[in-house]
Amino acid sequence: MSATTQARTAPDGRSVSRTARLLGDRRLPVLVTAALFLSMYVAGLSRYQNYGFAEPQVFLNLFIDNGYLLVAAAGATFVILSGGIDLSVGSVIGFTTMFTAWMVERQGLPILVVIPLALAVGAFGGFLMGYVIHHFEIQPFIVTLAGLFLFRGLCLVISKESISIGDASVSSMAQAQVSLGGAFLSIGAVVALVVLAVAFYVLHYTRFGRRVYAIGGNEQSAMLMGLPQGGTKIAVYTVSGFCSALAGLLFTLYIQSGDPLHATGMELDAIAAVVIGGTLLTGGSGYVVGTLFGVLVLGLIKSLIQFEGTLSSWWTKIATGVLLCAFILIQRAMTARRRT
């Protein structure tokens, strides 16, 4: 009886219990990111309502302007969930823009032939990196860093100068729109949303997705369970390479040119979007929907800075760094709570 009374008259104890349950909820980072995006969007509506911020097209532009980043971040989510890292994302995107522009403009190949070639090169590059990581037991950071230099160097092998794309079919694809009432989405944005839906299904409703989570959560336990670690590791880097190449194709449509310096540092933006979206850097926990919100938050920061008009674009990097540190601290608190 006294124990029951003590429990009822111990509000501090109950508060700690609720905090523990909250920190132990794997959905917490995603909910925090979604709440952050919503609060930022509402703040933009209140501050810039006389400048057209409330227009539906402004919201849809977040997908149009960041579709290629969403695809790259979706691929990076697979790698980070498995406990790895991929630093070659930006270089593969830049190489794909150069490869596509060179094949279309200099070699005269139609874009519909170049697209599968570019995707195959990106996927094969990811496969090679995954193979080296698994079979030679080298840290992903080192292998993908080598991939970063390799693909960036291949950009310069193709051409040291920018290659503009004047092909009519590329221009028509870039200008194609999907009407949504009084607003529209570009083809790149639609492709990005399709990739997001496929990634969500694969990660949450297939055996491969469950293996990715299991290996990222505890590699030794996954090994004892007999899960195919090697094949899964190689597959996630192949997926990342494929998504990076696809992101490069979308970026090519967005810019309509190839340049050796395109997408420099974009791998960091992709990783930041994944982490801000709630995926643990150590792997095993996270949602690709969170990656979507992470990309939208980064895109909304750029939009708010543009509407403000008096701030430098470098504030985007500053805000990203602050958010990244904050979400890493949240991850640290969650992992520490689970261990206790």
Does residue 11 register a pLDDT over 50? no
Q: In sequence order, what are the residues at sequence separation of 6 or more whose Cβ sits closer than 8 angstroms to the Cβ of residue 170? A: 104, 111, 252, 253, 256
Are the C-beta atoms of 317 and 302 separated by less than 8 Å? no
Does residue 14 register a pLDDT over 80? no
Q: Give me 90's structure tokens.
A: 């930006």
pLDDT tens figures, 186-234: 999 999 999 999 999 999 999 999 999 999 988 888 888 888 888 999 9
Q: Which residue has the higher pLDDT, 172 or 330?
A: 172
pLDDT of residue 122: 98
How far apart, in whole angstroms, are the C-alpha atoms of residue 197 and residue 195? 5
Binned at pLDDT 50, 70 and 90, residue 28 comes out as confident
pLDDT of residue 339: 58
pLDDT, the chain, mean? 90
pLDDT of residue 338: 59
How far apart, in whole angstroms, are the C-alpha atoms of residue 329 and residue 321? 12
* pTM, to two decimals: 0.91
Q: Which residue has the higher pLDDT, 329 or 254?
A: 254
208 exposure class (CB count in 10 Å sphere: 0-12, 13-18, 19+): middle
pLDDT of residue 328: 87
Binned at pLDDT 50, 70 and 90, residue 2 comes out as very low
Three-class secondary structure of residue 178 per DSSP:
strand
> Looking at residues 107-119, what average pLDDT do you find?
96
